[in-house]
Amino acid sequence: MQNIRELNYDAVETHFLNMGEKKFRAKQVWEWLWQKHAHSFSDMTNLSKDLRLKLETDFTLPALRVDATQHSEDGTLKSRFRTHDNHLVEGVLIPTEMRKTACVSSQIGCSLSCKFCATGYMERKRNLTFDEIYDEVVLLNQQSEKVYQQKLTNIVFMGMGEPLLNYSNVLKAIERISAEDGLFMSPKRITVSTAGVAKQIKKLGDDKVRFKLALSLHAPTDAKRNEIMPINETNNIKALIEALNYFYKQTGNEITFEYILFKNLNDSEKDADDLVKIYRQVPADLINIIEYNPIDNFRFTKPEEEATDAFMSYLEKNKVNARLRRSRGKDIDAACGQLANKG
């Protein structure tokens, strides 16, 4: 049976006409699917019981459900979601005074094996479908409204998986999230983060996407990046610089670099200088310097405060727009790089 959310509006309308139903039924169902967020046909209370049973016979409605939620001392909420076929995937609600940000996943597990990321040690089971990604955002938004009495302000694709290796589902999910008959969120409030798939970064440019892009750089030379991010062996820094410039030329959208500091690996003044050189080759708005969050398998640790301060000072002295991002949700393994379905 077909998942009803895979149909566009016209196909839903045609289905109802073929059933001998009125056209307006399509509008009612469409609203239940994308605006009232029904997770079963029985939720669609303005349809007759017979019609709901017919829909159940003709279609499936596989929806994501919250399996467990953990609350951090700092207000961060981590949710473990269960898919219709019993896989688990995590999403995080990160609250600040000004923003309520949903950090969402795009894959169940990951195939890139970045050495500092807990998800990288998990097997990639499958891609999330566009409607499952949509459900993640809906469920995190409902939590935000319930706990903080505020809707989400931002979405970041920085959870489990590599978004650009699930390209069509991620783009289709963002299309629904930003659609007027969906969540109607501005694409300018959505950031897709990639470990660096040069070919797909260029494709984003060709597709004239309207969301922001973040590159997880984490090391300023190929030798060091190869050590912690195997993807660099096929997508080196030179190729990524070229792809980011192409993306910017095509879209004019904001680009940021993400850079986790690791003690004695990428935190020296020489590393800072190499990072400045990369920054100057790309029209990047910002470098987010991120605190390293320990995971079970990784041998590195975070630098001492003085080393972090010296690194930040060097960037500032060289007129780099850099921000030190303090980690949220560390006590519940919800911080950057820690998602591994432990909840």
- 60, 78, 101 - which closes a domain: 60
What 3-state class would DSSP assign to 230?
Answer: helix
Question: Is there a contact between 343 and 90 (Cβ–Cβ < 8 Å)?
Answer: yes
Report how far residue 46's alpha carbon sits from residue 80's, in angstroms, rounded to the nearest whole number: 31
Say what the pLDDT of residue 111 is.
84
Whole domain around residue 11: which residue ranges? 2-60
Q: What is the CATH number of the domain that holds 53?
A: 1.10.150.530
Say what the pLDDT of residue 294 is.
74
Does residue 163 form part of some domain? yes
Does residue 339 form part of some domain? no
What is the count of structural domains for the chain? 2
Residues 309, 264 within the same domain: yes
Residues 186, 301 within the same domain: yes
Residues 218, 240 within the same domain: yes
Say what the pLDDT of residue 297 is.
65
Residues 154, 272 within the same domain: yes
- 39, 60, 81 - which closes a domain: 60
Q: Has 242 been annotated as catalytic?
A: no
Say what the pLDDT of residue 118 is.
77
Residues 56, 171 within the same domain: no
Q: Which of 92, 120, 124, 87 is nearest to 107 (CA)?
A: 124
Residues 193, 318 within the same domain: yes
Report how far residue 137's alpha carbon sits from residue 219's, in angstroms, rounded to the nearest whole number: 31
Does residue 337 form part of some domain? no
Residues 47, 73 within the same domain: no
Say what the pLDDT of residue 336 is.
53
Does residue 338 form part of some domain? no
Six-digit token string for 51: 């019609």
Residues 254, 267 within the same domain: yes
Does residue 340 form part of some domain? no
* 47 DSSP assignment: S
Q: Quickly list H helices, the chain.
A: 9-18, 24-34, 49-58, 130-148, 167-178, 198-206, 222-228, 237-251, 269-279, 305-317
Does residue 176 form part of some domain? yes
Q: Has 304 been annotated as catalytic?
A: no
Does residue 342 form part of some domain? no
Residues 54, 74 within the same domain: no
Mean pLDDT by 10 residues, the chain (343 residues): 96 94 94 95 95 96 95 91 95 94 94 79 89 97 96 96 97 97 96 97 98 97 95 96 98 97 95 98 96 75 93 97 79 52 48
Q: Which of 272, 342, 339, 327 is nearest to 120 (CA)?
A: 339
Q: What is the CATH number of the domain that holds 115?
A: 3.20.20.70
Report how far residue 273's alpha carbon sits from residue 270's, in angstroms, rounded to the nearest whole number: 5
Does residue 81 form part of some domain? yes
- 38, 60, 82 - which closes a domain: 60
Say what the pLDDT of residue 343 is.
44
Question: Is there a contact between 91 and 102 (Cβ–Cβ < 8 Å)?
Answer: yes
Residues 303, 284 within the same domain: yes
Residues 25, 113 within the same domain: no
Q: How far is CA 277 from CA 171, 202, 235, 258, in A?
A: 31, 22, 18, 15
Place of tokens 């984003």: 204
Residues 311, 219 within the same domain: yes
Catalytic residue chosen out of the listed positions 13, 90, 136, 258: 90
